């Protein structure tokens, strides 16, 4: 699951610079895809290996503004 520092859950809206985006995390064997749909519906994605668990991720827009900091964590039980 993709978790934010402010107790977000998978599929929550990630907001920044008056723009809201929904990111999707898809787990695969040995890696994760973090994706967002482009305006034309094409998914844009990052790939993280399973070894990246608990790695912090800062998303940076093309205008160099930083978005919210996210971290991949195990889902709470």
Question: Over the stretch 14-61, which tens digit does the pLDDT of each residue have?
Answer: 444 444 566 777 777 887 777 777 777 777 777 777 676 666 666 665
Can you give the pLDDT at residue 47? 75
1 pLDDT higher than 50: no
pTM of the model: 0.43
More reliable by pLDDT, 27 or 13: 27
Give CA angle at 73 (13, 31), nearest 5°.
95
Cα–Cα dist 52/54, whole Å: 6
Contacts of 58 (CB under 8 A, 6+ apart): 66, 67, 69, 70
Residue 65: DSSP 8-state? -
Phi-psi region of 50 (alpha: psi -120 to 50; beta: other; left: phi over 0): alpha
Structural domain spans, the chain: 2-72
């Amino acid at each position: 699951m993709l978790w934010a520092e402010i107790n977000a859950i998978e599929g929550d809206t990630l907001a920044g610079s008056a723009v809201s985006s929904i990111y999707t995390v898809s787990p695969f064997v040995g890696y994760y895809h973090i994706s967002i749909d482009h305006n034309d519906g094409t998914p844009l994605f990052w790939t993280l290996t399973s070894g990246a668990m608990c790695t912090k991720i800062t998303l940076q827009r093309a205008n160099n503004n930083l978005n919210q900091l996210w971290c991949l964590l195990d889902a709470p039980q």
